[in-house]
Amino acid sequence: MRRLIIDTDPGVDDAFAIALAARHPDVDLLGVTTVAGNIGIEHTTRNALNILSLCGREDVPVAVGADKALCRPPRTDDAHGNDGLGGHGYNIGTSSASVDPRDAVTFMVDQLSAATEPVTIVPIGPLTNIALLLAAHPGIKSKIDRLVIMGGGISGGNITSTAEFNVWVDPEAARRVLVVEDVPVTLVPLDITMKCAVGDEWLSAVSSANAVGRELAAMTPHYREFYRQEVGRDDFIMHDAIAVAEAIRPGILKTTPLELEIDCTDGPGSGATFADLRNGLKPPAHRLVDVALDADVDELRAFVRDELTSRY
């Protein structure tokens, strides 16, 4: 049984990611923590509650996290629409569950402290909560099996030509987690999530399988239009679900250990993730991070589709 905490800013692809984990028989979903990112914290929290309810998992606790980046004004985009779920959030039903009384960091500390086996944390939004957790509670790191993070883009960005959205929203938090800390990390950047994009056939298989699939697919048109306009892509790029797939089935992504750096300036590269791809003999200045750059993409797409169609 894999114990997971998902730290998230739902988010259309976050919704797919949560649904992927919510009913998996090998997953013990200890909780969902929310962070501001794709939209403000009130919306990301409400969306997390409602997605879990849609998945029949109102029992999973939701704890509210950071409402802004560590030290920057808010940075947002319109990829996920005015409700964070592509304008479809108002149609998926309202959870009757309340948020956990603890803040996200306290919640994670409590869950990790109580766990008898190490826990996998899957951050699929800006890394603000995770940076705060590691900075304030260094002793808790031994309870973390690994962080499987969706973020960064080694060969380019999505929100700018150089930056990936989650890192761009809070570059200082990303630097703390990916460069300064030494907790085990698998980074799932755009380089692999873009390769695993799916088309209409995949989406209609998910949509026609069950009610959850139908609601998930109905969230995607606005998001796909954003990607069409900004990135020139016509498919559905389910970034966050790829990270959850790796957390559920370790090794489904192929990783390369790389030394990373984050652009924390306000210049044109703000929020960019750099990887040292040289093969020099000098020891690295910082820790290495396992970066997922490859996968059997057909296997990956089939895994996510089959999980979403068979568990609901």
> Of these, 46, 57, 146, 239, which contacts ligand BDR (CB under 6 A)?
239
Stretch that binds ligand BDR, among 129-137, 164-172, 180-188, 286-294 (CB under 6 A): 164-172
- Residue 181's CB is within 10 A of a number of other CB atoms, namely 19
> Of these, 107, 165, 303, 312, which contacts ligand BDR (CB under 6 A)?
165
Per rule CB under 6 A, is residue 126 in the interface with ligand BDR? Answer: no
Triad 308, 300, 118: Cα angle to 5°: 80
Please count the residues of this chain forming the interface with ligand BDR, following the rule CB under 6 A: 14
Which residue in the block uniquely carries the two structure tokens 């990783």?
255
Per rule CB under 5 A, is residue 14 in the interface with Ca ion? Answer: yes
Give the whole-angstrom CA distance, residue 17 versus residue 4: 12
Which residue in the block uniquely carries the two structure tokens 């703000």?
270
Minimum distance from CB of 126 to Ca ion (Å)?
A: 8
Asked if 45 and 142 count as a contact pair (C-beta separation under 8 A), the reply is no
**Residue 164 touches which of Ca ion, ligand BDR, none (CB < 5 to 8 A by kind)?**
ligand BDR
Per rule CB under 5 A, is residue 124 in the interface with Ca ion? Answer: yes
| Contact positions with Ca ion (CB under 5 A) in 187-246 | 240
> Of these, 7, 83, 145, 164, which contacts ligand BDR (CB under 6 A)?
164
Question: For residue 207, which amino acid is it?
Answer: S
Which CB sits closer to ligand BDR, 47 or 207? 47
* Residues forming beta bridges with residue 120, ordered by sequence position: 4, 146
> Of these, 83, 191, 215, 240, which contacts ligand BDR (CB under 6 A)?
240
The pair of structure tokens assigned to 113 is: 């402290």
**Residue 79 touches which of Ca ion, ligand BDR, none (CB < 5 to 8 A by kind)?**
ligand BDR
**Residue 107 touches which of ligand BDR, Ca ion, none (CB < 5 to 8 A by kind)?**
none
Per rule CB under 6 A, is residue 11 in the interface with ligand BDR? Answer: yes
DSSP tag of 178: I
> Of these, 5, 15, 32, 79, which contacts ligand BDR (CB under 6 A)?
79
* Residues forming beta bridges with residue 119, ordered by sequence position: 144
Asked if 123 and 247 count as a contact pair (C-beta separation under 8 A), the reply is no
Catalytic residue among 24, 88, 239, 286: 239
> Active-site residue 239, yes or no?
yes
The pair of structure tokens assigned to 125 is: 């939004």
Give the whole-angstrom CA distance, residue 86 versus residue 237: 14
Closest CA to 81 of 13, 134, 33: 13
Per rule CB under 5 A, is residue 171 in the interface with Ca ion? Answer: no
The pair of structure tokens assigned to 302 is: 């089939």
Which CB sits closer to Ca ion, 35 or 295? 35
Pairing of strands 253-262, 288-295: antiparallel
| Contact positions with ligand BDR (CB under 6 A) in 16-45 | 38
Give the whole-angstrom CA distance, residue 300 versus residue 245: 8
Contact positions vs Ca ion (CB under 5 A): 9, 11, 14, 124-125, 240
Contact positions vs ligand BDR (CB under 6 A): 11, 13-14, 38, 79, 124-125, 150, 158, 164-166, 239-240
- Which residues are marked as active site? 239
